[in-house]
Chain A
Amino acid sequence: MGIEIEQSHPSVELSSIAISETHGENSPYFAGWKAYDEDPYHEITNPSGVIQMGLAENQVSFDLLEKYLEENSEASTWGKGGTSFRENALFQDYHGLKSFRKAMASFMEKIRGNKAKFDYERIVLTAGATAANELLTFILANPGDALLVPTPYYPGFDRDLRWRTGVNIVPIHCDSSNNFQITLEALETAYKNAESMNMKVKAVLITNPSNPLGIAIQRSVLEDILDFVTRKNIHLVSDEIYSGSVFSSHEFISVAEILESRQYKDAERVHIVYSLSKDLGLPGFRVGTIYSYNDKVVTTARRMSSFTLISSQTQHLLASMLSDESFTDNYIKINRERLRKRYDMIIEGLKSAGIECLKGNAGLFCWMNMSPMLENDTREGELKLWNEILNEVKLNISPGCSCHCSEPGWFRVCFANMSEQTLEIALKRIRDFMNNKDRKDIEN
């Protein structure tokens, strides 16, 4: 970025944080977005543009939200006995609207098939999961300390967990030999790795269901992780932002359930992050939460949330929406069905193009294996293929290296941020691309 300063003035330093690159926007994850921004697909005005498959958004269930709003218009709620606009506009208590917290707690319970209970007094509100993850890091770790994070992981963590906090991420390496599951061995290796770099490990941070894998973590693995953090006397952060997008509820096990089954023994080391950005498809509203079993963390997080509160207007809207049980029951059920249908469609489509994916059961994306297609089994090989897909096939997908995957050739492909028709077109482009490749191979 250019710095426009008249040459006569030597520049005044900004902070080291401002100058650093830890904001992470120079990664290929974002380069694809730029390509999309410059040439975005539109079915009528730009049918040959780049189709955005790098954005994990949920757009499949908006009609349900719109219908709710039409039937529960805001104009009918202001000033009629309930909260007035004025009261709402003045409300800046960092505890958050009680009705909203209660509604969130109940929604989180529903998503987990009522297999775990949530106490609304332990809910801390933040402007998005982005803020929640950073805030927890500030609370759990000092600059120079380390968080252990299984790979592959969401690229945004590099910024959210490290940029302003000064905390390090040490990867827990997972690979395809066992479907990228987290093993005790990998945990121990990562821990020793951090120690050898003189970093104090403060927490393990998992995303469950996983981004980018699209799988819910198995119960036995969760138990192992919990035992591991207890042994090492460190924290566990479970980012469950995709918990509502598991295709069937009995397949998702939240760490909350395991804690309940253990009568909350050692629970104060566990903290859950949630958000409505994925499950309800409302990323613009900035609704994130931290749910902690640790009283001091709840109190401190609440104070820190002053920097990142949720607009009271938005809290008010969502409080009524999420306490409407017939709405939420229906939404959760239908949303799941539609996501599963989408998932089946893309898996089939890729299969018929000769591409295998990791068997998933959640999320807004699939984890595609294109390693057989690599010229070189390296990061460079993967980026070369990625560039081809971006510039020739005109699809923006996310290369595994941007997710710190240790094996080249894997790509995250989002399927819920577009219409079915657009998805068909994307699949067709992939089929054509693969057919051409085959033909080229035969010719060679």
Chain B
Amino acid sequence: MGVMSMEQPQLLSKIATGDGHGETSSYFDGWKAYDKDPFHITKNPQGVIQMGLAENQLTADLVQNWIMSNPEASICTLEGVHNFKEMANFQDYHGLPEFRNAVAKFMSRTRGNRVTFDPDRIVMSGGATGAHEVTAFCLADPGDAFLVPTPYYPGFDRDLRWRTGVKLVPVICESSNNFKLTKQALEEAYEKAKIDNIRIKGLLITNPSNPLGTVMDRTTLKTVVNFINEKRIHLISDEIYAATVFSHPSFISIAEIIEQETDIECDRNLIHIVYSLSKDMGFPGFRVGIIYSYNDTVVNCARKMSSFGLVSTQTQYLMAKMLSDDEFVERFLAESAKRLALRYKVFTGGLIKVGIKCLQSNGGLFVWMDLRGLLKEATFESELELWRVIIHEVKINVSPGVSFHCSEPGWFRVCYANMDDRDVQIALNRIRSFVMKNNKEVMVSDKNTKHCWQSNLRLSLKTKRFDDIMMSSPHSPMAHSPLVKAST
């Protein structure tokens, strides 16, 4: 038998050999820099600080205390092991009823009890990552498209497109009106798709927004609902950051619009919510994704598909117990909002002191930082140059706006909830030093048109079209966990 190598690409599928996984991008410079040189307060105080990861670590102590005080919530303790056999055997894709009931209640609570959720409409998935893919499989055929307002979470490029063959059509939002979603932008995107012969099957919104950290106001939500109803397309509302909102204006769920707004007529069969416990509770490792649909057929279909990504019953059991502890949940949500508010205040306050502004926001686990003033030119190439400087000189991993498909260069997403107070101060100090040094050098070299920070650039000077830059998500399952290194 001749030596036949299996390395020839055609021996794997097109899906396998393509780039749909989204990991081939210069974005990885940030991750690589962090992985090679991760910050540690004592072991590596000069290392790169990870601010590209949208995690919520501010309330871990509350959860830990609850775990210690409730041993029966685990099936691996003496108090809970009597339930082990039943849980280990239970593989019904409907999920544990007590789990669904607890999740429905929790979703309601995080919306101020202004709406209720039907546990029978709750479908499990492998994290929100899995939920988005399943939704795309249910609603669209290969070649169909979803409209997505920019800037948007980079993981969508993979989650919604990779194995499904579905396309994403951007709906451009601009800084001139604080990136609000407008009817005009929706119509423009829809019409353009029509001209390009692309069939639009749905609109995907993330509310509260990633990367903006803002909530959608009632008027915009109503505009959205009217739009999709008129065009007869689906609406998917990713509400994964629902409980990270820490001040006014409060979060309004699409569920509230559907259930309460009497001046809107909408076919409920078009409305679907994606949710998860990864951000609100800080449990990304537990892979608790939820699809909530008002469409019976979608619920049934998604449920069947959930066979490919069920939540471990061990985890369902723990979540059921934790989320039905009303007193704990109330205390947790209140404390979480408080701590996020304080962290936001400290971080943005520190930035303002050195003249760095962020988009006004009140949710998410990040800020949308405006560094347009530091760009050499208003181009994405300049943005990436600046980004590399931030990584290699300031030694902070932040996420460049181009990776979120932002239409304007100069914006960066910076996460602030995945570290402790002391580390935030260190990050702020570094930013302060960088800005001050930059200002000083600009003043000194006024004849020299080159800004000094450019000479320190270690660049891959190939320019990249921003569509080429696909990003791996820092918050969805990713290549290397910074967590293991970040723990102190």
- Chain B positions 279-308 with a Cβ under 8 Å from a chain A Cβ: 282-287, 296-298, 300-301, 304-305, 307-308
A10-50 interface bits toward B, Cβ cutoff 8 Å, 1 = contact, 0 = none: 11111111100001010000000000000000000000000
B88 pairs with A311, CB closer than 8 A? no
Is residue A181 within 8 Å, beta carbon to beta carbon, of the partner chain? no
B89 pairs with A139, CB closer than 8 A? no
Contacts A12-B267, A305-B477, A311-B286 given; does A90 touch B57 at CB 8 Å? yes
The answer for the CA separation of A74 and B141 in the assembled complex, in Å, is 45
- Chain B positions 1-57 with a Cβ under 8 Å from a chain A Cβ: 1, 4-7, 11-16, 21, 23, 55, 57
The answer for the CA separation of A123 and B201 in the assembled complex, in Å, is 37
The answer for the CA separation of A127 and B278 in the assembled complex, in Å, is 17
B297 partner, pick from A14, A92, A160, beta carbons under 8 A: A14
Binds A, one of B122-130, B177-185, B443-451: B122-130
Name the A residues within 8 Å of B399 (CB-CB): none
Name the A residues within 8 Å of B477 (CB-CB): 92-94, 305-306, 309
Closest CB-CB distance, A19 to chain B, in whole Å? 8
B285 pairs with A313, CB closer than 8 A? yes
B298 pairs with A14, CB closer than 8 A? yes
Contacts A9-B269, A138-B163, A313-B312 given; does A300 touch B21 at CB 8 Å? yes
7 more contacts with CB within 8 A, not counting A90-B283, A131-B308, are A12-B233, A18-B297, A85-B64, A306-B476, A307-B308, A308-B126, A317-B76
Is residue A443 within 8 Å, beta carbon to beta carbon, of the partner chain? no
Closest CB-CB distance, A28 to chain B, in whole Å? 18
Closest CB-CB distance, B209 to chain A, in whole Å? 22
Number of B interface residues, CB 8 Å? 89
Is residue B350 within 8 Å, beta carbon to beta carbon, of the partner chain? no
A207-248 interface bits toward B, Cβ cutoff 8 Å, 1 = contact, 0 = none: 000000000000000000001001101010000000000000
A95 partner, pick from B76, B305, B480, beta carbons under 8 A: B480
B286 pairs with A25, CB closer than 8 A? no
A73 partner, pick from B63, B77, B130, beta carbons under 8 A: B77
- Chain B positions 59-102 with a Cβ under 8 Å from a chain A Cβ: 60, 63-64, 67-68, 71, 74-78, 81, 84-85, 87-91
Q: Which residue of A lies closest to B199 (CB)?
A: A13
Closest CB-CB distance, A358 to chain B, in whole Å? 27
B309 pairs with A308, CB closer than 8 A? yes
Is residue B337 within 8 Å, beta carbon to beta carbon, of the partner chain? no
Is residue B106 within 8 Å, beta carbon to beta carbon, of the partner chain? no
A138 partner, pick from B13, B297, B312, beta carbons under 8 A: B13
Closest CB-CB distance, B301 to chain A, in whole Å? 4
Q: Which residue of A lies closest to B76 (CB)?
A: A74
Q: Which residue of A lies closest to B228 (CB)?
A: A12
Binds B, one of A168-176, A277-285, A367-375: A277-285
Is residue A87 within 8 Å, beta carbon to beta carbon, of the partner chain? yes
Q: Which residue of A lies closest to B472 (CB)?
A: A303
The answer for the CA separation of A303 and B476 in the assembled complex, in Å, is 11
Name the A residues within 8 Å of B126 (CB-CB): 127, 131, 306-309
Binds B, one of A61-69, A380-388, A433-441: A61-69
Contacts A5-B267, A86-B60, A89-B282 given; does A308 touch B308 at CB 8 Å? yes
A311 pairs with B285, CB closer than 8 A? yes
Q: Which residue of A lies closest to B22 (CB)?
A: A303
B14 pairs with A142, CB closer than 8 A? yes
The answer for the CA separation of A303 and B23 in the assembled complex, in Å, is 9
Q: Which residue of B lies closest to A78 (CB)?
A: B67
A281 pairs with B310, CB closer than 8 A? no
B15 partner, pick from A127, A139, A284, beta carbons under 8 A: A139
- Chain B positions 299-327 with a Cβ under 8 Å from a chain A Cβ: 300-301, 304-305, 307-315, 318
Closest CB-CB distance, B234 to chain A, in whole Å? 7
B310 pairs with A286, CB closer than 8 A? yes
Binds A, one of B132-140, B211-219, B367-375: B132-140
The answer for the CA separation of A142 and B11 in the assembled complex, in Å, is 10
Q: Which residue of B lies closest to A1 (CB)?
A: B300
Is residue A296 within 8 Å, beta carbon to beta carbon, of the partner chain? yes
Is residue B460 within 8 Å, beta carbon to beta carbon, of the partner chain? no
The answer for the CA separation of A84 and B486 in the assembled complex, in Å, is 13
Contacts A90-B282, A139-B13, A285-B313 given; does A2 touch B296 at CB 8 Å? yes
- Chain B positions 258-281 with a Cβ under 8 Å from a chain A Cβ: 267, 269-270, 278
Closest CB-CB distance, A177 to chain B, in whole Å? 30
Is residue B487 within 8 Å, beta carbon to beta carbon, of the partner chain? yes
B233 pairs with A3, CB closer than 8 A? no
B137 pairs with A75, CB closer than 8 A? no
A281 pairs with B89, CB closer than 8 A? yes
Is residue B483 within 8 Å, beta carbon to beta carbon, of the partner chain? yes
18 sample A-B contacts, Cβ–Cβ < 8 Å, listed by A number: A5-B267, A14-B138, A14-B139, A15-B144, A69-B76, A84-B487, A86-B63, A89-B284, A89-B285, A90-B283, A91-B483, A92-B285, A92-B481, A95-B480, A285-B88, A306-B126, A311-B287, A317-B76
